Structure 1
Amino acid sequence: MTSTPVHVTRKRPTVAVLGTGIMGSGMARSLLRTGLGVRAWNRTQSKAAPLAADGATVTETAEEAVRGADVIVTMLNDGLSVAAALTAASSGLHGGQILLQSSTVGPDATADLAQRAADLGLVYLDAPVAGTKQPAEQGALTVLVSGPSAVRPSVDPVLDAIGQRTIWVGEAPGEASRLKLVVNTWVINMVGSIAECLNLAEGLDIDPQSFLDVMKGGPLDSAYLQGKSAAVLSGDLTPSFALSSALKDTRLILEAAGRSGVILDLVAASADRFERAEAAGHGGEDMIATYYAGRPPE
């Protein structure tokens, strides 16, 4: 007798997205495109409202968003914001829900949030992402994950929707967040280098495009160099990643480096530039607005 094969169908998770700024809204749309149910909440509700047209259920409270959800994605500015969102959502939570914590909050806040999640009965996954606005909207982020791999089958549909690649770093929360700081160090140093090259070209009365033409197609060229430079030269500084958020990340990196005894001169210099640009009113623009920190006073 030939037996009939048994097909196991896994339930497609319902996802609550807490935080629908530049990154969170893009991630929510990527989840919706794959057919996952999404409930979206943002402290400023107007930022979540446009997601309703894409099929999300936009809720007035964090509690409504998480009630009955299988996976909760947090994409907020910092650890305090995530903690506040969890407190606001607490009466809607139930044991066994997976918290996919994707905000860049640093090692200390990660440890605090992991403990809060445990106290609430949640399964905590430390899951910061590498990428900015466009990859978030395209489902092309790189997701760094540390936490219990036993829940991987339950969360894979979510990870596959928001990212083109998932790297499982380890079993302990904090490992992914520490790696994210290393990744962001590279990005922050690179954007500072681009800004300074454009500053120097203009200071020496060289057309910045000439510099880009020299680099184009060579071993030191990159889409990042060309794209960020084009943003400056066109004057379109619509944020893919806001300068104020980059400044927050430089502070997290420097704090972690200081505790480990590592000296990061370039990141410290980038922090100074970001602070000057923010003080000049560029905090809400793309991080390449650090360019303005290097221009001579008018």
Structure 2
Amino acid sequence: MSTNQSITIAVLGTGLIGAPVARNLHKQGFRVHAWNRTAAKAKALVADGILAFDSPADALRGADIIMTVLKDGPSIQEALQAAAPALNKGVIWLQLSTVGIESIETLSALAEQHGLVFYDAPVQGTRQPAELAQLIILASGPLEQRAAAQPVFDAIGKRTLWVSEQTGASSRLKLALNNWAFALTHGLAESLALAKGLGVDPALVVDVITGGPMDSGYFQAKAAAILAENYTTSFSIVNAVKDARLVVDAAAQARVQVDAAQAGLQRFERALEAGHGDKDMAASYLA
């Protein structure tokens, strides 16, 4: 039996990121328990050899490591509080969701209350990197259990950046990174929309940028999606609205002026109000 096969990981949240994360953990030999508020999403993993449970408490019972990949801080707090009877002191909790600076402090306090070893570890990457185990993990937390957490991160990502021993440092970094991703998304969407509005083929914008200093894999992927009118979700407008609000709120607390971020949030909100919530955030183009 490999070392991984002796470790049980409970994955709470099996959406666009959580489901491939659970599959990749199983592929690397870990025993994986799964729970999701929409039970069908967890049960869809049974065919991959993953055990699905009807409640967070059942999923956590007997787990050595907890991994949360739910939508937001309140959802995670609710799930962990519901599972309180199954929480054992010393269990490692890897918190992968983007929750913002207030919720990460709440979750850290919850972990301390139950004697859990807490790691603030949001991930950089969307559906495809998650499927390919190419996520970048931004991890913060105590030194003593990092050796136990690292093989888990290695199973789902291509790189782990240990940011700090201080809880919350990773969540702060993630907000700055998300702000950049949103700026790229809106800049591209508006540039293509402007070209079209001016009577120019938007594909020519892509043609000029390709191979130059402004080019990137992200630019090419989102541009291709927009030009093909293919908004298959890697990161939804709904989640973009949630995370953009976290950015704006954090900036206000830090007294940092973020004009572009505020405008970007409004653009995502318009896309949401127009009925594009389940589409990829490249649907900023449709706002």
Q: Is the 8 A contact 2:5 2:31 kept in 1?
A: no
Matched, 1:160 2:172: no
| Deviation by residue 1:126-177 (Cα, 9 ceiling, x = unmatched) | 0100000011111110000111021011111111011100011111110110
Aligned counterparts of 1:272 and 1:256: Cα–Cα separation in 2: 16
Counterparts of 1:76-155 in structure 2, within 5 Å, are 76-155=70-149
Q: Is the 8 A contact 1:79 1:105 kept in 2?
A: yes
Aligned counterparts of 1:263 and 1:275: Cα–Cα separation in 2: 20
Q: Is the 8 A contact 1:13 1:157 kept in 2?
A: no
Partner of 2:47: 53
Q: Output the amino acid matched with 1:170.
A: S
Other structure's SS at 1:238 match: coil
Q: Output the amino acid matched with 1:237.
A: Y
Q: Is the 8 A contact 1:12 1:157 kept in 2?
A: no
Q: Is the 8 A contact 1:128 1:176 kept in 2?
A: yes
Aligned counterparts of 1:172 and 1:210: Cα–Cα separation in 2: 47
Partner of 1:189: 183
Counterparts of 1:2-21 in structure 2, within 5 Å, are 12-21=6-15
Matched, 1:282 2:269: no
Q: Is the 8 A contact 1:18 1:73 kept in 2?
A: yes
Q: Output the amino acid matched with 2:217.
A: A
Other structure's SS at 1:112 match: helix
Q: Is the 8 A contact 1:13 1:154 kept in 2?
A: no
| Alpha-carbon distance change, 83 to 254 in structure 1, aligned in 2, over 3 angstroms | same
Partner of 2:61: 67
Matched, 1:209 2:209: no
C-alpha displacement of 1:12: 4.4
Say which one has the larger Rg.
1
Aligned counterparts of 1:222 and 1:277: Cα–Cα separation in 2: 25
Partner of 1:253: 247
Aligned counterparts of 1:279 and 1:188: Cα–Cα separation in 2: 18
In the alignment of these two chains, the number of paired residues is 286
Q: Is the 8 A contact 2:124 2:174 kept in 1?
A: yes
What residue ranges of structure 1 are gaps of 5+ in the alignment? 1-8, 294-298
Aligned counterparts of 1:47 and 1:169: Cα–Cα separation in 2: 32
Aligned counterparts of 2:4 and 2:78: Cα–Cα separation in 1: 32
Other structure's SS at 1:150 match: coil
Q: Is the 8 A contact 1:18 1:75 kept in 2?
A: yes
Q: Is the 8 A contact 2:4 2:28 kept in 1?
A: no
Aligned counterparts of 2:9 and 2:155: Cα–Cα separation in 1: 11
Question: Which of 232, 242, 254 is matched with 1:238 structurally?
Answer: 232
Aligned counterparts of 1:245 and 1:214: Cα–Cα separation in 2: 31
Q: Is the 8 A contact 1:96 1:121 kept in 2?
A: yes
Other structure's SS at 2:230 match: coil
Aligned counterparts of 1:26 and 1:150: Cα–Cα separation in 2: 28
Q: CA RMSD in A?
A: 1.3
C-alpha displacement of 1:50: 1.4
Instruction: Give the % identical residues.
Output: 48
What residue ranges of structure 2 are gaps of 5+ in the alignment? none
Q: Output the amino acid matched with 1:173.
A: T
Moved over 2 A (4+): 9-13
Aligned counterparts of 1:241 and 1:16: Cα–Cα separation in 2: 23
Matched, 1:272 2:266: yes
TM-score where L is the length of structure 1: 0.94
Q: Output the amino acid matched with 1:151.
A: Q
